[in-house]
Structure 1
Amino acid sequence: MSTPRKSPKRPAIRTASAAADRPADRPVGRTVDRPVDRTADDEIWPRVTRELADDLAVDALARDRAGKAPFDEVARLQEAGLPALLTAPGTTRRGADWRAACAVVREISAADSSVGELLAHHYALSWSSRFLDGPARDAGAPLASGLPLDVRTAEEHWLLAGGVEPPRNETGPGLTLSPADSGGGWILDGSRTFASAVTVADRLVVGARPGGSGDLFVVLVDPSEPGVFTDAGAERVGQRLAGAGTVTFDRVPVPPEDVLGVLPHDEHAVAPYSTLAPLALRLLLVHVGLGIAEGALAEARDISRAGQAGPAPTDRTGAPTDGAPPVGAGDDPYLLLAYGELATAAHAAAAVVERATDALAHGLLGAWSLGVEERADIAVLVAAAETVAGRAAVHITTRILELVDGTAGADARSGGPGFDRFWRNARALTAPTQAAHRLRDIGDHYLNGTHPRLTLLA
């Protein structure tokens, strides 16, 4: 039985020298002690998450600079039991809800946003089968393709990677399915690049079309199959430890029980609930971006406090006065103004994100009874959260580089505290989002009452 890793308290200033020795990279198919099953206790999950975040923060900079595949990071997640956290209400295995999952992703991302992104994709994919096949799936009963994927994932202690929706810029047939010669099932072929965890995943969840057109079949694939080939992505500007890469499928068999469900090609035949799938992923990634901003701001505050501290006050005998604040700490009015601006930006982004999170959680509980109007309101709130939190993350991490350079001097310019990591991660995470498109949709809905399209694309 494994228990959560005991970690030291987060230091005021984290540097590469604080990195602990970690196990060497493990191959796919690693053996990890299975964590004890936990219940959705209001105290357990926040405590476990906080301890893991503290642990990840200690050596985050060293791991980012090493740029290795995140086998060790996944092992830490599994030891804490976080991949098995999210399960639907009404299932036999109790877990936490979407609000708790978003909070976990946000706190982990404040310490290491690559791990936060990896976990965000996992949670979105684990829920994917519940968006398929209608109300029977939501009841949690065994169907032709087995139990809902979130239940199977929790029971098997899998880490999921992949992506259901084809990318918008895909020009070829993408991933294709052809009927197996015998025994039923399908043969999967094609290649696709994924943003997270494909180098370390236990199972892949992908969308493919028979013959390259028509309805989208969502299938579960074991990456240890002989016909699955994974190439780690080239060194990225940011989010270096998210495990991105390209996966090639060469005549990979997909048995009938691993077909999780089907999404209609005709968008008019798609239920509003099914189109929450890309919104769920987008919102989880918003929490990653908000975590980056909050983590950078907290670390910069620690640096600024240390850089501004003067000599400790003494009594008439010259002995230090216990409990007295250092002379000159936090007295610079321009520094106070800067932190006031950045803290306000973070608070404003958090408020918008929380509203979108509540709306999505409510919509997910409504499941197949969700209407087009409510889905439209959720889509607009998620788009607003993306826009506000994305801009805040880039602005805060950019401004912090200036603040730390001013308070930490040459150490900051030489890359000492590693604040470039936050800036790079924020840029890499937000770059694929077209803010202008989101704002146009928000404006069209607000002004004209137009509904965002019921699309399966993020």
Structure 2
Amino acid sequence: MTIAPSPAERRTETFAPWGGHADADELAHWTGVARTVADALAVDVVERDRSNALPVAPVALLRTSGLADLVVPTDLGGHGAHWETAFAVARVIARVDASVAQILGYSWLNQACAVFYGTDASHTRDVLARSAAGHWVWSDSFNPISPDLALVADGDRYLLNGRKAFATGAAVADVIVAGAIAEGGRHDGELVVFALDAGRDGIRHLGDWDNIGYRASASGGVEYTDVVVTDADVIGVDRDEPFSSVVTPGVQLLFGNIYLGVAEGALAQAAALTRARPNSWFLSGVDRYADDPITHRLFGELVSRTAAVEALADRLNRRYDEVVARGHATTADQRAAIEIEVARLKVVSTEVGLDVASRVFELTGASSTKSAIALDLHWRNLRTHSLHDPVDYKRIEVGAHFLNGTVQPVSLYT
């Protein structure tokens, strides 16, 4: 597979396809599709978690359901949905399977890198059209904590070498997005962003992901050995333009929605277990745990706090559509504003999500710790992924901006 045919000449015209807001029909349709997908995933989510198997069948489901092509414009073969809808879909799936929700969200955002980093409109449109035609699932190996990749000129092409950790979804995806500073050639000294077919010669998926949570996310590392990168693979060059870095608040907004979805899923499972729980605590004065005022109080607290996070997430999901609609006219101040808003969500969704996923056991009792029930899956997934980047630095970012108007340096985390 070649990501795109090499154009004879690259123009400098850019392409930003998103605009407007989702309407009620769009949201209802695609969240309905997401619930159907989530129901299918629920059948074997526990088994897949325990086996640490590659999520081949779940990713195939993302393709056949239409979700892989959700945010590609309709004139390019996609469904033309808005980011508000996409984040809502990810949240629904995260209630059941945060690993698959992560793969799907990353696919949209990595696919969108063709827009965020793109410098040639015809090339960007061609990449998105080919993606929709093939129902491609996208991934990346951009982890900035790993050593940088080496991209060295070899005639009129480049050779890519190095290793990246935590390449979520790469082992089951069609496309891997990566970046490296070119040494020599036409891009000498530039940070080049490129998209490679995941099975290209020289790409090795390490299969070294074996953590307590997110076990079905295929988050192992990727090793590159003399991987050929041609001009056709390049989707853009990172020139520190504000719009290109709007992808990072999008990633953090995805995280906030997934954490919220995990909390909602934990509450839903806890409620079902509580309703089915026989008898009651002997001091309660009621016949069922579901009628115990202490049970009501704790559910009331956790549900209310989760609803507050939901309100913030819904507002920011809609706001993100407004931000990306500006395209390459986006200013540094506008980019900073959405980053700060999303950082607030990251703080509260992490805190509330972890608290909810842990304290539901107080509602469901010792019997709910049985392995067969797998109520712990929600907490393990959230505990694992919430360590992606330290939430304390998000708190600092929000506080410093509130007090002094300070804006953090743009990075793949801020």
Assess same fold via TM > 0.5.
Answer: yes
Q: TM-score range by the shorter chain?
A: 0.7 to 0.9
Q: Percent identity?
A: 29
State the shift of 1:445 in Å. 1.3
Deviates more, 1:442-451 or 1:149-158: 149-158
Q: Give the equivalent residue in structure 2 for 1:402.
A: 362
1:217 and 2:161 aligned: no
Equivalent pair of 2:400/2:406 in contact (CA under 8 Å): yes
Distance 1:456 1:216, change over 3 A: farther
Rounded Cα–Cα distance in structure 1 between residues aligned with 2:243 and 2:325? 10
Matches of 2:388 and 2:27, distance apart in 1? 35
Which residue in 1 is equivalent to 2:134? 156
- Partner Cα distance (2:72, 2:391) in 1: 32
Change (3 A) 1:386 1:41: closer
Alignment-derived partner of residue 245 in structure 1: 220
Return the offset for 1:436. Answer: 1.7
Aligned to 1:175: 149
Given candidates 322, 328, 335, the residue that maps to 2:295 is 335
Is this contact kept in 1: 2:169–2:219, CA < 8 A? yes
The within-5 A match list for 1:77-96 is 77-88=62-73, 93-96=78-81
Write the distance in 2 (CA, Å) between the matches of 1:91 and 1:224: 25
Letter in 2 for 1:178: V
Matches of 1:380 and 1:239, distance apart in 2:
27
Who is 2:318 aligned against? Answer: 358
Q: 2:249 aligns with which of 272, 279, 282?
A: 279
- Counterpart residue type for residue 174 of structure 2: D
Q: Give the length in aligned residue pairs.
A: 383
The answer as to whether partners of 2:68 and 2:107 remain within 8 angstroms in 1 is: yes
State the TM-score, normalizing by the size of structure 2: 0.86
Q: Distance in 1 between matches of 2:126 and 2:250?
A: 17
Secondary structure, counterpart of 1:61 in structure 2 = helix
Q: Which moved more, 1:114-123 or 1:40-49?
A: 40-49
User: What secondary structure, in the 3-state scheme, does the structure 1 residue paired with 2:334 have?
Assistant: helix
Please tell me the residue identity of whatever aligns with 1:142: S
Q: Spell out the pairing of 1:61-80 with structure 2 (5 A cutoff).
A: 61-80=46-65
Q: CA deviation at 1:327?
A: 6.7
Work out the CA distance in 2 between the residues paired with 1:41 and 1:133. Answer: 27
Task: Confirm whether residue 203 of structure 1 aligns to residue 175 of structure 2.
Answer: yes
Matched-pair contact (CA < 8 Å) for 1:125–1:163? no
Give the conservation status (yes or no) of the 8 Å contact 2:167–2:222: no
- What does 1:31-430 correspond to in 2, within 5 Å? 41-88=26-73, 93-134=78-119, 137=120, 141-143=121-123, 147=125, 149-164=127-142, 166-167=143-144, 169-170=145-146, 172=147, 174-181=148-155, 184-211=156-183, 214-264=189-239, 270-308=240-278, 328=288, 330-404=290-364, 406=365, 409-410=366-367, 412-430=368-386
User: What is the TM-score when the length of structure 1 is the normalising length?
Assistant: 0.78
SS at match of 2:198: coil
Deviation at 1:90, TM superposition (A): 7.0
CA contact (8 A) 1:305 1:329 kept: yes
Q: SS of the counterpart of 2:307?
A: helix
Aligned residue for 1:376, secondary structure, equals helix
- C-alpha separation between the residues in 2 aligned to 1:457 and 1:50? 30
Ranked by relative contact order (alpha carbons within 8 Å, sequence separation 6 or more), the top structure is 2
**Cα distance in 2 for residues equivalent to 1:99 and 1:398:** 28
Structure in which a larger fraction of residues adopt helix: 2
- d(CA) in 2 for partners of 1:434, 1:279: 15
Q: Secondary structure at the match of 1:285?
A: helix
The one-letter amino acid paired with 1:207 is G
CA contact (8 A) 2:149 2:162 kept: yes
Give the superposition deviation at 1:62. Answer: 2.0
Q: Which residue number corresponds to residue 396 of structure 2?
A: 440
The gaps in structure 2 that reach 5 residues or longer are 1-24, 281-285
Shift of 1:43: 4.5
- For residue 27 of structure 1, what is the aligned residue in structure 2? none
**Alpha carbons of 1:163 and 1:86: their partners in 2 closer, same or farther (altered >3 Å)?**
farther
Residue 399 of structure 1: how far off its partner (Å): 0.2
Find the counterpart in structure 1 of residue 8 from structure 2: none
Counterpart for residue 11 of structure 1: none
Q: Is the 8 A contact 1:195 1:242 kept in 2?
A: no
Secondary structure of residue in 1 paired with 2:159: strand
